[in-house]
Structure formats: structure tokens, C-alpha cells
Amino acid sequence: MNIELNYTNIMDEIIYEEGISLLDFVNIKEKINTAYDKVMQKCKNDELGFMKIIYDDILIYYELKEYSKDFDNIVVIGMGGSILGTQAIYEGVKGIHYNDLNDKKVYFLDNSDPEKTFEILNIINLKKTLVFAISKSGNTAETLANFLIIEEKLKGITKDYKKNIVVVANTGELKNIADREGYKFYRMPENVGGRFSVFSAVGLAPLCCMDIDIEALIEGAKEMDKLCRNKDIFKNPALMNATIHYIAYNKGKTISVLMPYIERLHKFGLWYRQLWAESIGKNGIGQTPVISLGAKDQHSQLQLYMDGLKNIIITFITVHKFKYDLKIRSSNYLNNRTLSTLIHSEQKGTEISLTNNKIPNISINIDELNEYTIGKLIYLYEMQTAFMGELLEINAFNQPAVEGGKIITRKLLEECPVDEIKESKPTKKYCIEI
């Protein structure tokens, strides 16, 4: 067993009226089959590029891996789907403090916060830094802004600045700059959305320079792909988990909590949050994703989950074998226990307590967290999202509501008066000075 999807605690025989029955699956069997067929047909029609890119040649990245050995730092610039997957894999494999343990440092610029950009630029030696600028549209404002700042500084300190820059894009201003300057360039696939793109150049190009085994990563995704092409819902983990969340949503479970019990998967949770929210939050419907981290959030959010509105479904992620472990010496019940035993017991205790309170919960159990298993995990959630979109009868691969904010932001930067942008204008200002 590499990964197990255990959905026992969502069944009605365990949590009674709050659960899902086998009859619930039977009642929507035709809908489930239709959702499966539509996803497979879209794949066949080359509409779902994320299902195809895992079979692309990855040898093109090994030259870049060798090239990166001359640099002491890597900076990845991107937003949302252009960077979250890379962060999730890097931290999921290497750990949250790997920069402190490794000579080669990795930094992610994923915001327009000037303090963050300033501090990273103060930490690194730019001459010894390989910079990745990643944006499918090539016009993402935050990515362009950070890139242009770094590019200008590189041009000011070295004539060989072109050696320091790698661009991953499809079109837009970023591609135009790469063409004009002659930067190393990797094209993003046209039919792959940003949040589904980590197995393309978006993730593989920077990851191969971070000592990540991208071959094992892709092998994990391929193995999950085989499982996800099985039409039998009881053998297809992505179709099963999508259906569970669909039925739960229709039973009033409008919040999906993801709760890994390992710090290394926190960034995976942030990646999932974007994937689920941006893909299925449309047309007045959608299930809100919430990230919790065990065991620490037992002390902050669990009270609500246990005793608040019964509108949640929780997914635990546990890892059996940690990279390291420590034994506890004590005169009480902790004596001779390990930290891994403690956190596993805390997860199991929370699971049992939630189940006793009739809160539906799923467990994804992983033997060991590495490139292969995180590749399987990410692809599982990508496929689950595709199936969920079809079950909800929405397009899971666009994000039309996001564009409005981008358009208004650009107008503001072009100094368009705020009153000309607002559709409704208050007669006075309502605020409290604090």
C-alpha cells in the first residue's frame, strides 16, 4: 500500500443520518457514469491537457538540472497555479526547513508585497541566483512586477544577466521579453490551466533544479492515472472521492476541510485550496475549502468542527513513516513514546471523536511521503476535481469571476478615478477610526 483512501466514516452505518448510504450511490449511478464518460471524452478530444502532460518527455529538463549546479540560489516568481504546485512538491519532499540545512537556497516570490521582495533580494547574491519567471498568460501583474524589478537589478550588476533567467509562459509580455532578450524559455501547454499545470514545465523546470526526482514524481502521477481511468467507482479513488463530496454537498456539507497531520503537506493544502475553490466555485454553487494542520489546529479549529454547524466534511491525511523521529523521556504516560506515535494518536483520537459526533470524515493514509507518493496524491486531486466539475455540471477549468478584479486593478494603475469604476456609489463614507 502506497496510498489508501478510507471512507468508512462517511457511511450511514457509522454516522447514521449524517452519512451516505449505498443507496445514495445507486440513485445517482447514471450521473456518476455520465461524469466519468465526459471527463474521458474531453481527454480524448485534447481538452484536458493535464491528463496528457504526464506522458510527455521529461528528458528536456535534465540539461537544465545540470545547468543549475552553477547557482547557489533559486528564486521562483509566480502566482497561484503557476507556483503553488511547485511549492507543495518542494516542501512536501524536502521539508519546511530545508533551506536551513542545504547549501542551495530556494525562495518563492508569490505576492506583490514589497517587504517580501525586498527581504529576499537582501538575502541572496543575485549573480549566483537562477530566476524562474512563470505565468501562462505572460501578463500576470504580480509576476511581471517582481520579474522586472529583479531583471533590472541583474542588468545593473552583470553583463551575463541572461544566464540567470528562465521564463515559462505561453504568450504575453513575459514571452515577448524572453524572445527579445534570448532567455531560456519553456512553453506552457495551451490546454492546461495553471492550477493543473505542475506536471508541465511550470513545475518540472524549477523542481529538477531543486534536487527533486521528477521521474519518480511523474511515475506516481501515471500510476494514479491508471486507477482513475477505471469506470468502476469502487476501484477509482478520484471518482469515489468526487462522488462522496458531491453527495455530501447536496446534504448540506458546504465546507470541505483538508487536515494533514504532517507539516510537510501544509503547502499541499494551499494548492488544494486554490484547486477546489477556483474550479468548482461557480454559478452560485461550490464547496468552500478550508485548510487545517494537525495536530496544532486541534487547539484552534476543532471546537467549531465538533460543536458548530454540521456543514463540514473532513479529510485527514496521515503519513505512516516520518523521515525522523524522537523518543520522549517522562515519568508519565508519554514515557518511551515517540513524537510520531503521539501525532498518530492525536489524529486517531480526533477521527474517533468526530465520528462519534456524526461528522463525516475521510482518511488518506500514505506509507511514506516522497516524490512518487506526492505525485500520486496531486494527480488524485486533479482528477477528483475534474469529476466533481462534471457532477456539478460546471466548467471546472475556467475562472471567469477572477478576471473582473484584474481588469479593475489595471484601471486603477492607469489612474482611472475610483468613482468611474464603482457600479454603486455611497453618499458618504462609513468607517471607524481605530
* Residue 189 CB neighbours (<10 A): 18
Decide if 14 contacts 8 (C-beta within 8 A).
Answer: yes
d(CA 15, CA 13): 6
Q: Determine how β-strand 3-6 pairs with β-strand 73-77.
A: unpaired
Amino acid identity for residue 317 in this structure: I
Decide if 285 contacts 395 (C-beta within 8 A).
Answer: no
Where do we find the cell 524562474? 132
Active-site residue, 278 included: yes
Decide if 185 contacts 176 (C-beta within 8 A).
Answer: no
Decide if 275 contacts 195 (C-beta within 8 A).
Answer: yes
- Report which secondary-structure segment, H or E, holds 318: strand 312-321
Closest CA to 377 of 262, 212, 206, 220: 220
Candidate list 299, 425, 428, 429, residue with the active-site label? 299
Where do we find the cell 477549468? 397
Residue 35's φ and ψ, nearest 5 degrees, are: -60, -45
d(CA 270, CA 80): 10
Measured at the CA of 173, the angle between CA 172 and CA 177, to 5 degrees, comes to 125
Asked whether the CA dihedral 26, 27, 30, 34 is positive or negative, the reply is: negative
d(CA 397, CA 406): 18
Q: What cell numbers appear for 63 in the block?
A: 540539461
Closest CA to 265 of 365, 409, 135: 365
d(CA 304, CA 315): 16
Measured at the CA of 273, the angle between CA 111 and CA 44, to 5 degrees, comes to 105
Candidate list 296, 320, 327, 406, residue with the active-site label? 406
Q: Determine how β-strand 288-291 pairs with β-strand 255-260.
A: parallel
Candidate list 278, 351, 371, 390, residue with the active-site label? 278
137: Cα within 13 Å, side-chain hemisphere: 12
Active-site residue, 406 included: yes
Which residues have a catalytic role annotated? 278, 299, 406
